[in-house]
């Protein structure tokens, strides 16, 4: 039974490698093999190669300074972080709040076997990430210092210690996330916020990593003495990899005790969490008047509700909502510093910095793609929209309107701040606001046209139309191509006409194209949408 449950858990994790959700059928053996090869390339080639290079960078200098233990402390810490954060989402969804809890608990299966299978699943997922750090770490150390039986034994025990420590920490983090999620009313915004914080943190540490490593290698002895004085247990942990069998056995005993404790606690708390229904707030009914909406307002509200209820939709198609104002703040504070430098560096293209800043705003606007998958997201429920006494044009206008509103408001703020901070004449500042706003209108209407022409209505997971559809790909890269053409034409011949004339021509072109595409949507596009 335990083996069957574990097999089911692993299949759920790697389901995408064997099952094509877009076509609703199993993949061919050739496709499965290709996906598995791709997986190993990412895990072994990319992650493993990255940590192999880092191991070579750290190992030699630290060993030369007599700081072998710090090498294992740093690399071991990275392994723990990667193992925990690589498997914490799997822990949250598979260990505590899985969708099949009710089904499994209704069967004659002991709770300890359900918990055991899910713990093994979490352990294997954490170990999968862990070995991408530990194998390069051990290989490089043995290459530099030589191989001995004691080192191999201690490295094996270190793997045991780290893998079970990752299991314990992942389980605790998953428990924390599960309990918090039961008390949160709107989980979509929380999911988006946490994901964005993780992305920001990742890039912050990524860009700071080089400076940190250089500083560490220059002051290794000083940091080593501080660690021995303040956190001596970390020094003992680092000694395990160097071949200290006493420290290895001591940490093994402690980690084993922690895992046993977590196992016992999970057996007691699993039923309470798995069968919890979340926080339900009792509300007293109060009579109140509801303002009637027009047809367009009602459909726009429907599109907004769908957008805000899906973290995948918001993250993949609405990132520009945050990035556009952020860019506006940056341009407001820094534009007068870097724009003259750009103009000076490209003196043969006078005032080209204004064009480049305008292009940057348009590129950020193209990251908002709410309209592109909107028709596909109707899926099998498309008949509901078609059965309502609403003209097809109104539904399409609402889909385009959502993108115009959610992109236009941030763009208005961002472009005004950019114009204030830009080192440019007044006319160019006005066009720095006007042209991106017209581009927002054009891209929203064009994305709606693409949504009608390239729908995917037979899907089992919403990520398919949001992230894997040809329409979304065309909408995003098509906008990028337009921005590149806008800049390239200026660099080749547009500068001869001057910035204001060039930007005005493009603004008028976007406005005319918007009217033309909107007319198509109202006539032929509405008929094609109604015929889907």
CA 157 centroid distance within chain: 34
pLDDT band at 513 (very low <50, low <70, confident <90, very high): very high
Identify whether residues 337 and 238 lie together within a single domain: no
Q: How far apart are CA 126 and CA 85, in angstroms?
A: 9
326 C-beta neighbours (distance < 10 Å), count: 13
Average pLDDT of the chain? 83
Closest CA to 77 of 197, 240, 225, 259: 240
Identify whether residues 230 and 329 lie together within a single domain: no
**Phi and psi, residue 19, nearest 5°:** -125, 130
Question: Does residue 380 fall inside a structural domain?
Answer: yes
Question: Does residue 289 fall inside a structural domain?
Answer: no
Identify whether residues 266 and 302 lie together within a single domain: no
Q: Are 144 and 55 in contact (CB under 8 A)?
A: no
Query: Given a cut of 70, is residue 457 above it in pLDDT?
Result: yes
With H, G, I as helix, E, B as strand and everything else as coil, classify residue 335: helix
Task: Tell me which of 241, 274, 307 is where a domain ends.
Answer: 274
Q: Is 185 exposed, middle or buried (0-12, 13-18, 19+ CB in 10 A)?
A: exposed
Query: Given a cut of 80, is residue 531 above it in pLDDT?
Result: yes
Q: Give the pLDDT mean for 97-101.
A: 65
Question: Does residue 282 fall inside a structural domain?
Answer: no
With H, G, I as helix, E, B as strand and everything else as coil, classify residue 368: strand
Residue 239: give the domain boundaries: 2-274
What is the pLDDT at residue 123? 84
Q: Give the pLDDT mean for 18-26.
A: 72
Q: For residues 370 and 208, which has the higher predicted lDDT (pLDDT)?
A: 370
Identify whether residues 61 and 112 lie together within a single domain: yes
CA 76 centroid distance within chain: 25
Q: What is the pLDDT of residues 261-298, one digit of tens each?
A: 877 777 776 666 656 555 555 566 676 776 767 788 88
CB-based contacts of 209, cutoff 8 Å, min separation 6: none
Question: Does residue 316 fall inside a structural domain?
Answer: yes
Identify whether residues 228 and 304 lie together within a single domain: no
Query: Given a cut of 80, is residue 136 above it in pLDDT?
Result: yes
Task: Tell me which of 242, 274, 306 is where a domain ends.
Answer: 274
pLDDT band at 503 (very low <50, low <70, confident <90, very high): very high
Q: Are 249 and 157 in contact (CB under 8 A)?
A: yes
Identify whether residues 95 and 172 lie together within a single domain: yes
How many structural domains comprise the chain?
2
Q: Give the pLDDT mean for 229-244.
A: 86
What is the pLDDT at residue 316? 84
Query: Given a cut of 80, is residue 87 above it in pLDDT?
Result: no
Q: How far apart are CA 486 and CA 363, in angstroms?
A: 11
Q: What is the pLDDT of residues 322-352, one digit of tens each?
A: 899 999 999 999 888 888 888 888 878 877 8
156 C-beta neighbours (distance < 10 Å), count: 12
User: How many residues are there in the chain?
Assistant: 532
Q: For residues 278 and 109, which has the higher predicted lDDT (pLDDT)?
A: 109
Q: How far apart are CA 131 and CA 163, in angstroms?
A: 9
What is the pLDDT at residue 98? 65
Note the pTM of the prediction, 2 decimals. Answer: 0.72
| Identity of the highest mean pLDDT range in 98-102, 177-181, 185-189, 354-358 | 354-358
Identify whether residues 130 and 213 lie together within a single domain: yes
Q: Are 92 and 178 in contact (CB under 8 A)?
A: yes
Question: Does residue 280 fall inside a structural domain?
Answer: no
Question: Does residue 123 fall inside a structural domain?
Answer: yes
Structure tokens at 513: 């194209």
Identify whether residues 437 and 334 lie together within a single domain: yes
What is the pLDDT at residue 338? 86
What is the pLDDT at residue 285? 63
Query: Given a cut of 70, is residue 426 above it in pLDDT?
Result: yes
Identify whether residues 269 and 306 lie together within a single domain: no
Give one DSSP letter per residue of 251-294, joined into a string. HHHHHHHHHHHHHHHHHHHHHHHHT---------------PPP-
Q: What is the pLDDT of residues 180-234, one digit of tens each?
A: 666 666 666 666 776 677 667 666 676 676 777 777 777 778 888 888 888 888 8
Share of the chain above pLDDT 70, in %: 86
Query: Given a cut of 80, is residue 362 above it in pLDDT?
Result: yes
Identify whether residues 96 and 176 lie together within a single domain: yes
Q: Are 157 and 76 in contact (CB under 8 A)?
A: no
Question: Does residue 379 fall inside a structural domain?
Answer: yes
pLDDT band at 468 (very low <50, low <70, confident <90, very high): confident
Identify whether residues 407 and 518 lie together within a single domain: yes
Q: Are 167 and 119 in contact (CB under 8 A)?
A: yes
Q: For residues 358 and 108, which has the higher predicted lDDT (pLDDT)?
A: 358
Question: Does residue 287 fall inside a structural domain?
Answer: no
Identify whether residues 30 and 141 lie together within a single domain: yes
Q: How far apart are CA 525 and CA 532, in angstroms?
A: 11
Query: Given a cut of 70, is residue 379 above it in pLDDT?
Result: yes
What is the pLDDT at residue 382? 80
């Amino acid at each position: 039974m335990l083996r069957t449950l574990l097999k089911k858990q692993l299949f759920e994790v790697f389901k995408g490698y064997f099952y094509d959700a877009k076509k609703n059928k199993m993949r061919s053996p050739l496709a499965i093999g290709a996906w598995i090869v791709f997986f190993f390339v990412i895990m072994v080639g990319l992650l493993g190669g990255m940590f192999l290079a880092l191991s070579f960078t750290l190992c030699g200098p630290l060993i030369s300074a007599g700081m072998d233990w710090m090498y294992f402390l740093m690399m071991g810490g990275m392994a723990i972080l990667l193992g925990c954060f690589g498997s914490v989402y799997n822990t949250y969804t598979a260990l505590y709040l899985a969708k099949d809890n009710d089904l499994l608990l209704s069967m004659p299966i002991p709770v300890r076997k359900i918990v055991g299978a899910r713990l093994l699943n979490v352990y294997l997922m954490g170990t999968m990430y862990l070995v991408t750090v530990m194998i390069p770490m051990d290989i490089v150390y043995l290459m530099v210092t030589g191989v001995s039986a004691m080192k191999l034994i201690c490295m094996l025990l270190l793997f045991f210690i780290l893998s079970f420590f990752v299991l314990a920490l992942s389980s605790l983090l998953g428990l924390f996330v599960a309990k918090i999620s039961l008390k949160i009313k709107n989980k979509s915004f929380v999911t988006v916020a946490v994901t964005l914080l993780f992305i920001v943190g990742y890039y912050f540490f990524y860009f700071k990593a080089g400076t940190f490593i250089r500083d560490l290698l220059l002051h290794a002895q000083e940091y080593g003495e501080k660690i021995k004085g303040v956190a001596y247990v970390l020094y003992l942990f680092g000694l395990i990899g160097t071949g200290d069998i006493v420290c290895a056995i001591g940490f093994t005993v402690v980690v084993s005790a922690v895992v046993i404790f977590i196992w016992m606690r999970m057996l007691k708390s699993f039923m309470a969490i798995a069968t919890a229904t979340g926080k339900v707030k009792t509300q007293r009914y109060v009579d109140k008047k509801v303002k009637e909406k027009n047809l367009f307002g009602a459909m726009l509200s429907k599109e907004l509700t769908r957008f805000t209820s899906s973290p995948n939709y918001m993250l993949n198609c609405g990132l520009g909502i945050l990035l556009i104002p952020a860019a506006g703040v940056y341009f407001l504070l820094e534009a007068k510093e870097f724009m003259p430098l750009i103009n000076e560096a490209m003196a043969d293209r006078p005032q080209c910095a204004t064009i480049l800043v305008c292009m940057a705003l348009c590129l950020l606007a193209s990251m908002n793609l709410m309209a592109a998958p909107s028709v596909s997201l109707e899926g099998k429920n498309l008949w509901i929209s078609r059965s309502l006494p609403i003209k097809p044009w109104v539904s399409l206008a609402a889909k385009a309107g959502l993108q115009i509103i959610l992109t236009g408001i941030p763009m208005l703020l961002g472009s005004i701040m950019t114009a204030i901070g830009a080192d440019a004449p007044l006319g160019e500042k006005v066009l720095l606001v006007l042209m991106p706003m017209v581009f927002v209108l054009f891209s929203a209407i064009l994305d709606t046209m693409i949504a009608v022409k390239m729908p995917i209505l037979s899907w089992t997971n919403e990520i398919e139309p949001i992230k894997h559809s040809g329409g979304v790909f065309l909408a995003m890269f098509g906008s990028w191509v337009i921005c590149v053409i806008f800049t390239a034409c200026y660099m080749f011949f547009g500068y001869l006409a001057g910035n204001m004339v060039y930007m005005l021509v493009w603004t008028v072109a976007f406005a005319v194209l918007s009217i033309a595409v909107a007319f198509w949507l109202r006539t032929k596009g509405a008929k094609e949408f109604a015929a889907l």
